[in-house]
Structure 1
Amino acid sequence: MPTRDNPWPQGTPCWVDCSVDDPGAARDFYARLLGWDVLDSPPEAGGYLMAMIDGRPAAGIGPKMGDMPMPSVWTTYFAADDADAVAAAVQAAGGTVFVPPFDVMDVGRMFVAADPAGGVFGVWEAKSHTGAGIFNETGAYCWNDLHTTAYAPSQEFYRQVFGWGFDEIGGGGMVYSTFNDPDGRPMGGFADTTGQPGSDMPYWLTWFQVSGTDDALARATELGAKVLMGPDDSPFGRMGVVAGPQGEVFGLIDTNVTIGG
């Protein structure tokens, strides 16, 4: 299975977590949907929960931070060799750093930011927590893509911040690209959502691998989620998009079931 023990290269999606009003309820939902073993963290972690698959960290669940109202969300984190340097690059490229980089005990250094169009993401500089230890495996995240109406400007922003290259792979009226590491390997995607319903606010969408998309969507519904899209077949897998019981949006995909596969 795909696993990792070392820090991820800079610019790679390295971690995902959800912020919700009731972490305990989210713990039960995702454990039953994705088979996670969700562990408590030390008291100083502020109620943050660690989701494990086969003993490896897969994702996090935590309470919403601060006093301002905010929706429940999944956040994609990108690896940084130096979080402070990446924060400076975000600001230089026209993005917003909500809180300057800060240490999370001895596990890492992080900040949360938004691109100029408003797409929110996190940045993680690994210390004792190197990020996801399992990926592209049933129950783990397998893809992250930005849904935005500011397609070309967003590409330029992330190119400046992380040095990504892009390959346009859309077709049939869909505008979509992968963002790639320096060797040209795809790490995630960008989707142009111009003209689509509910496309006023850009967002990063986390996709979790499942074995059987239809069954996973039915199970999510039984557990109180709402199916927003799908199931649909694609060259990448059979997929659907879900809003969890607390409103957080995420994708489910079976990459083993593809058009023509």
Structure 2
Amino acid sequence: MWHELMTTDPDAAARFYPAVTGWKVQTWEHNPAYRLWTMGGAPMAGLMALPDHSRRMGTPPAWLSYVGVPDVDATVRQATSLGARTYAGPQDIPVGRFAVLADPQGATFGLYKPSQQPVRGNDAAIGDFSWHELATTDYKAAWAFYRALFGWEPRESIDMGPDGTYWEFGLAGRDETIGGMYNKPPALPAARWLAYVKVPSADTAARTAQRSGGRVVSGPMDVPGGGRIAQCVDPQGAVIAVHAVAVAVKPAARPAGKRKAPRAKAKKAAKKAAPNRKAKRAKRAR
């Protein structure tokens, strides 16, 4: 997948995101008006000014996620037959071909076929986009659309109680889970995709976002599976999320010393076995 930020102030964004994610910024050799965020020399995402016609229409700054496909034109035709709308028809750029659409519930996404297939590992590294989340008006209809269009496979479905069901999905023929979808809360004005960037610490990234002029709208919080996330809004209003994977910490070795009496050991074991009344059930937050 490819990701692209269209914003009203690219210079400000070029300062904000490296502070939060660790990315670096460079000008794209094919177009000086387009910039690339990189990590370890590898391109992570793109940055461009929000087009004038989009500003006139009142389009806010936003991230756009592109799905890699073997044939952009054929996928646009199929998407249209499934109820999608085309915002930008298939067109060539120096590094491939792309199109921009909206799904039947109104969430915007892109299609992209690169000229050269990027080489990426299965596991997201620091700086990679590690999760993709769709908040929609009808997750069952949305799932039927994306499964028919991209062949995504269902993974786990999670009951979030009053918040409904969270439906996870992955790529066909591959083990890893890449995202989830759910019915959006009433406070969210429209269906949207939200991309998560993998960082060393979600808490540190959230604090940095606030210090850099952004806002934290959710989290930092733990999520099932051992991860920790935060959802942020950058200074221009685009929403981005960060995701950190919990690192298992080995308990420190206890120094050799006098052995405890059996009664003391039994008392300690009983204390450990007592139910922890303060434990709370983890709530799905993605």
- How big is each residue's C-alpha offset from its partner over 1:186-230, in whole Å with a ceiling of 9 and x where there is no partner? 443333234x24233111100011112111111110000000001
Match of 2:183 in 1: 193
- Provide the C-alpha distance between the structure 2 equivalents of 1:65 and 1:161, rounded to a whole number of angstroms: 28
Determine if the alignment matches structure 1 residue 234 to structure 2 residue 220. no
CA 1:153 to 1:55, structure 2 compared with 1: closer, same or farther past 3 Å?
same
Conserved? CA contact 2:17–2:23, under 8 Å? yes
Conserved? CA contact 2:2–2:65, under 8 Å? yes
Conserved? CA contact 2:130–2:178, under 8 Å? no
CA 1:110 to 1:16, structure 2 compared with 1: closer, same or farther past 3 Å?
same
- Provide the C-alpha distance between the structure 1 equivalents of 2:51 and 2:32, rounded to a whole number of angstroms: 10
Q: Which has the larger radius of gyration?
A: 2
Give structure 1 stretches of 5+ with no counterpart: 1-13
Determine if the alignment matches structure 1 residue 60 to structure 2 residue 41. no
- By relative contact order (CA 8 Å, sep 6+), the higher-ranking structure is 1
Conserved? CA contact 2:171–2:178, under 8 Å? no
Which amino acid in 2 is paired with 1:202? A
Match of 1:177 in 2: 167
Determine if the alignment matches structure 1 residue 47 to structure 2 residue 33. yes
Conserved? CA contact 2:155–2:177, under 8 Å? no
- How big is each residue's C-alpha offset from its partner over 1:111-169, in whole Å with a ceiling of 9 and x where there is no partner? 110100001001101104x4585872222211111111211110111112112222342
- Provide the C-alpha distance between the structure 1 equivalents of 2:81 and 2:68, rounded to a whole number of angstroms: 18
Identify the range of structure 1 (180-189 vs 198-207) with the bigger mean alpha-carbon deviation.
180-189
Q: How many residues are aligned here?
A: 242
Higher helix share: 2
Give structure 2 stretches of 5+ with no counterpart: 249-281
**Aligned ranges for residues 194-213 of structure 1 at < 5 Å?**
194=184, 196-213=185-202
Match of 1:79 in 2: 68
**Aligned ranges for residues 24-43 of structure 1 at < 5 Å?**
24-42=11-29
TM-score, scaled to structure 2: 0.79
CA 1:161 to 1:187, structure 2 compared with 1: closer, same or farther past 3 Å?
same
- How big is each residue's C-alpha offset from its partner over 1:86-129, in whole Å with a ceiling of 9 and x where there is no partner? 11111010001112100012x0100110100001001101104x
Identity fraction in percent: 29
TM-score, scaled to structure 1: 0.86
Over the aligned positions, Cα root-mean-square deviation in angstroms equals 2.0
